[in-house]
């Protein structure tokens, strides 16, 4: 994955510190939310060998929807816990594996 996308809580804290130095005040939840959204999109593009489908994480952080190049929704999946942010906080590595597995599954649709 990209160096710019945090994959664990240590990297989240590092990104928050860098953003603060650059004058951007963000919360831990905001950084994790964006990281989860970016991670899944990256996994999806890797699984499909290009940008064919677009993922969106709902504002409540509980559901991903995937839209195909035709503009039609082709997949949806939910967090295991309260939200993907909470899933990340609980076990970031497990969530990364799950996102990667979902991306592989969707790529085969």
CB-based contact 81:87 (threshold 8 Å): yes
Tens-digit pLDDT profile for residues 6-18: 999 999 999 999 9
Tens-digit pLDDT profile for residues 47-77: 999 999 999 999 999 999 999 999 999 999 9
pLDDT of 20 over the 60 cut: yes
Eight-class DSSP state of 27: -
* Helical packing angle, 28-48 and 92-107, nearest 10°: 30
Which of 27, 7, 8 has the alpha carbon at shortest distance from 16? Answer: 27
């Amino acid at each position: 994955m990209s160096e710019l996308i945090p994959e664990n809580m240590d990297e989240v804290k590092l990104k928050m510190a860098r953003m603060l130095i650059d004058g951007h005040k963000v919360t831990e939840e905001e950084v994790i939310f964006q990281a989860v959204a970016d991670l899944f999109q990256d996994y999806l593009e890797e699984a499909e060998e290009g940008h064919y489908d677009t993922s969106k994480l709902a504002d409540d952080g509980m559901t991903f929807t995937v839209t195909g190049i035709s503009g039609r929704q082709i997949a949806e999946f939910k967090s295991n816990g309260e939200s993907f942010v909470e899933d990340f906080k609980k076990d970031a590595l497990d969530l990364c594996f799950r996102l990667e597995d979902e991306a592989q599954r969707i790529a085969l649709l």
